[in-house]
């Protein structure tokens, strides 16, 4: 989806600078998880960050979501359980299997973590500022006696129906961008293994390359190449590679963004620098400035502009020196 595509683009910016330094003077790699391949970072990083984004707002919210997956299964296995779930979650079509609903919820939480901006925005969906805070308020503020699943539905309604205009919900992605492009990428070169462990609020899941391969063969008739990226750009030694052979890259990250876990969060060299914002989300620095921008964001953008101006200045100086202009 959009976030995957945006993320892919900034990853490409960093790689472009690494491979084509004669064409790209530098790269602003905002929220670019260039380490999210093979086992360079722990595979559970992404879902742990999503989970922490919820826990920091409210531990009861975190616990409700964590409990909801079992509740879903229990409910779904009852007689007429799927019909009941269809009603609880106001689905447009009758639910066929529980996984479809789990994926829909998982997707909402993951996107919420990415777009957890400090002001109202419409990047993926129209959302209020600090949307996770709002989701958790909804979940926590339900009257006593509200079931786990009803609470969760109230919560994700912030994501799927903030405008209040949805009559019912389609579980399939119906956005204009679509997921096919990204899914094909993920099935070929952009294999980003992700797991979920006990510490997260998601169901436990271990990335399994063989079953991933099967899915890819089934859906796209392609076989993933999980080591291609790490061969092409460097794997566990990518930071040493960047340090020795790269320059002019800004890795900017917000720690609320689940992609930050696979990004470069420390300066690599004098010209490959990390800008880390504790309260930042996905690509926040690349968004248009607004009157609600926090001070740290304004300062971060100023730093980025200064660095980029420095690259351009140096480029013209060296050009002058090389060509005696």
Residue 22 within binding range of a second copy, rule CB under 8 A: yes
Residue 29 DSSP symbol: E
Q: Residues, the chain, total?
A: 325
- Minimum CB separation of residue 265 from a second copy in Å reads 17
**Which phi and psi angles does 127 have, rounded to 5°?**
-140, 155
Per DSSP (E only), the strands in 10-112 are 27-30
Residue 325 within binding range of a second copy, rule CB under 8 A: no
- Minimum CB separation of residue 245 from a second copy in Å reads 4
* Binder among 237, 292, 299, 302 for a second copy (CB under 8 A): 237
Map tokens 């205009």 to a residue: 165
C-alpha span between 120 and 58 (Å, rounded): 21
Cα angle value 324/317/272 (rounded, 5°): 140
Q: Are 283 and 6 in contact (CB under 8 A)?
A: yes
- Number of chain positions touching a second copy (CB under 8 A): 20
DSSP 165-186: --SSB-SS---SS-SHHHHHHH
Residue 322 within binding range of a second copy, rule CB under 8 A: yes
Residue 273 DSSP symbol: E
Map tokens 């229990």 to a residue: 74
Query: Judged by CB under 8 A, which stretch of 90-98, 147-155, 207-215, 242-250 contacts a second copy?
Result: 242-250
Measured over the CA atoms of residue 115, residue 120, residue 121 and residue 126, the dihedral's sign is positive
- Minimum CB separation of residue 275 from a second copy in Å reads 23
Residue 318 within binding range of a second copy, rule CB under 8 A: yes
Over the window 249 to 278, marking each residue x when it contacts a second copy by CB under 8 A and - when it does not, the resulting string is: ------------------------------
- Minimum CB separation of residue 239 from a second copy in Å reads 8
Query: Judged by CB under 8 A, which stretch of 36-44, 206-214, 294-302, 317-325 contacts a second copy?
Result: 317-325
C-alpha span between 289 and 275 (Å, rounded): 18
* Binder among 234, 254, 261, 262 for a second copy (CB under 8 A): 234
* Binder among 231, 291, 324, 325 for a second copy (CB under 8 A): 231
How distant, in Å, are the alpha carbons of 58, 67, 92, 144, 148 from that of 85? 26, 16, 12, 20, 12
Residue 324 within binding range of a second copy, rule CB under 8 A: no
Return the number of the residue (245 or 296) whose C-beta is nearest a second copy. 245
Edge-to-edge strand list for the sheet holding 272-277:
27-30, 249-254, 272-277
Residue 244 within binding range of a second copy, rule CB under 8 A: yes
Return the number of the residue (94 or 232) whose C-beta is nearest a second copy. 232
Residue 316 within binding range of a second copy, rule CB under 8 A: no
- Minimum CB separation of residue 234 from a second copy in Å reads 4
- Minimum CB separation of residue 40 from a second copy in Å reads 13
How distant, in Å, are the alpha carbons of 54, 132, 184, 312 from that of 109? 9, 8, 23, 40
* Binder among 16, 21, 76, 118 for a second copy (CB under 8 A): 21
Query: Judged by CB under 8 A, which stretch of 107-115, 195-203, 226-234, 283-291 contacts a second copy?
Result: 226-234
Residue 296 within binding range of a second copy, rule CB under 8 A: no
C-alpha span between 45 and 259 (Å, rounded): 8
Residue 81 within binding range of a second copy, rule CB under 8 A: no
Sites of contact with a second copy (CB under 8 A): 19-23, 231-234, 237-238, 240-241, 243-245, 247, 318-319, 322
């Amino acid at each position: 989806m959009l976030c995957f595509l945006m993320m892919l683009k900034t990853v490409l910016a960093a790689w472009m600078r690494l491979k084509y330094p004669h064409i790209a003077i530098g790269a602003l790699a905002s929220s670019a998880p260039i380490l999210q391949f093979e086992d360079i970072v722990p595979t559970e990083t992404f879902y742990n960050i999503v989970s922490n984004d919820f826990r920091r707002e409210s531990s009861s919210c975190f616990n409700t979501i964590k409990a909801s997956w079992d509740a879903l299964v229990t409910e779904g296995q009852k007689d007429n359980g799927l019909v009941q779930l269809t009603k609880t979650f106001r689905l447009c079509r009758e639910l066929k299997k529980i996984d479809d609903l789990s994926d829909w919820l998982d997707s909402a939480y993951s996107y919420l973590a990415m777009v957890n901006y400090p002001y109202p925005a419409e990047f993926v969906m129209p959302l209020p500022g600090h949307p996770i805070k709002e989701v958790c308020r909804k979940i926590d503020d339900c009257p006593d006696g509200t079931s786990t699943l009803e609470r969760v539905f109230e919560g994700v309604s912030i994501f799927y129906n903030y405008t209040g205009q949805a009559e019912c919900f389609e579980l399939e992605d119906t956005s204009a961008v679509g997921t096919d492009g990204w899914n094909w990428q993920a099935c070929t070169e952009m294999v980003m293994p992700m797991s979920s462990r006990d510490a997260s609020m998601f169901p436990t899941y271990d990335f399994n390359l063989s079953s991933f391969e099967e899915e890819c063969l089934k859906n796209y008739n392609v076989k993933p190449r999980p080591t291609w990226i790490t061969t092409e750009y460097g794997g566990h030694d990518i930071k040493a590679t960047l340090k020795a052979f790269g320059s002019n890259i800004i890795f900017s990250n917000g720690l609320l963004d689940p992609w930050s876990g696979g990004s470069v969060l420390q300066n690599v060299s004098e010209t490959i620098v990390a800008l880390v914002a504790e309260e930042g989300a996905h690509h926040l620095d690349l968004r248009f400035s607004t009157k609600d921008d926090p001070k740290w964001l304004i300062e971060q953008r100023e730093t980025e502009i200064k660095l980029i101006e420095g690259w351009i200045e140096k480029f013209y100086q060296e050009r002058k020196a090389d060509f005696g202009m």
